[in-house]
Structure 1
Amino acid sequence: MILHIPNVLSQNQVKECRELLDKASWIDGKLTAGSQAVNVKSNLQLAEDSQLLAYLRQMITQALKTNPLFVSAALPNHIISPFVNKYENSGAYGNHVDNSILYDATVAKHYRTDVSCSLFFTDPDEYEGGEMVIEDTFGTHEVKLPAGDMILYPSTSLHRVEPVTKGVRMVSFMWTQSMIRSAWKRTILFELDNTIQSLRAKYGETQEAVNLSIHYHKLIQEWAEL
């Protein structure tokens, strides 16, 4: 499942982030790339020990935990501390798949990467190129979202960032270990949750909505890994 989640950050939050990032110091993004990705990665990144990254991590993680669409789609067990990167001067990130296990230095623990996300700080008209391209069983998807919006997709997806030929592209990227390991099971639960919420919005708390909700929670209980 590839999902566009709008307005993860408010416009005021985006403005604050941009003001901070425009004055930030950056390091080579290859320093945090895996053995396969390091050969195709050309971008800049906030250092993991920077105070700015710590501040942005807190803001983004809190926004995700309180975003109903993200919670419904990812069913998060743990959100691995986000990173922030920057693409300019033909910077790009070639085809790769994210590491299946990552170390979260904030809590000193390894986590499985089930769900990947990219949260945009720059609007599409601020740069040329820089499309995120995600490949799945349904084909190839190009993504270039407004600032404050986020794309969510399975971490097993092959994806890349096309070269930024003009301007600057800044995003936060992160991974989540879900309570539900299987991508297709997460999709089933997401669609079921959407159906329940739609029924409630149209007809109120009917017995049919209650019954579906019971089955939804039974499936989570059956499939969850904590």
Structure 2
Amino acid sequence: MRSRHHDIADDLRQQITAGRILPSERLPSEAALADRYKVSTVTLRRALAVLQTEGLVEKIQGKGNFVRRPHRKIMYVSGWGILDPWTAAEPALRVTVRSTSRQAHAHSATLLKVPMGSPIVEFTCLSREGDSSHGLARVYMPRDLVPLEALDDDSTSREAVTRFAFFGPPPAAVRETVCARLPTPDEASALRIGIASVVLSITRIATDSTGRVVEATLLVFPGDRVDAVFTTHHVIDERQTQG
């Protein structure tokens, strides 16, 4: 049987989505809501916790519970990791980039298909609009393929706004694996989201014309802050067009 707090969460959610309770509007006090629904404050807080996890309600200490404004979404375009021009042009959207030279550990070595201990560079890119984080990227590249200027954090931040990675020459092929999952504790902390929030996770492997992995990227976007566009290209075999 459904718990009472789920019924209360459903009712409040319906009021929010229908516009009867507006974004930034303060909800009645917990005591008032508990009295309205004829439940204890413990049950009422469980209902609010459901809505807080979903990102519909935000509790501000000392002020109460407020309906959250919907996050503006960014658009990720598959294949090249490009943000759409309208998103990239927004001055409020900032991407910070940090680079670290290191030796490949088990995971990064597997992604790049290099021996353990090989010299690589790890880039960490975090896109943010005010206090709202929109995306996290961890980019791994063999050290010999990283342009010297890409190691300057200040110089790469603007390029990362529109490319979100690919610091080297354009790759010959890109393979992306996509899934929806819960964030790791480190991802939740970096993106400032709850550990029960759903994220869109993309693992992108770029190779050159010889098949060498030139870049491996782990992208994580909060599920309510991104639209991802994937395009299928049909390849026509020239032998089928002849004769």
TM-score surpassing 0.5?
Answer: no
Q: What is the TM-score normalised by the length of structure 1? A: 0.27
Compare CA radii of gyration and give the structure with the larger one.
Answer: 2
Q: What is the TM-score normalised by the length of structure 2? A: 0.25
**Whose RCO is larger (CA < 8 A, sep 6+)?**
1
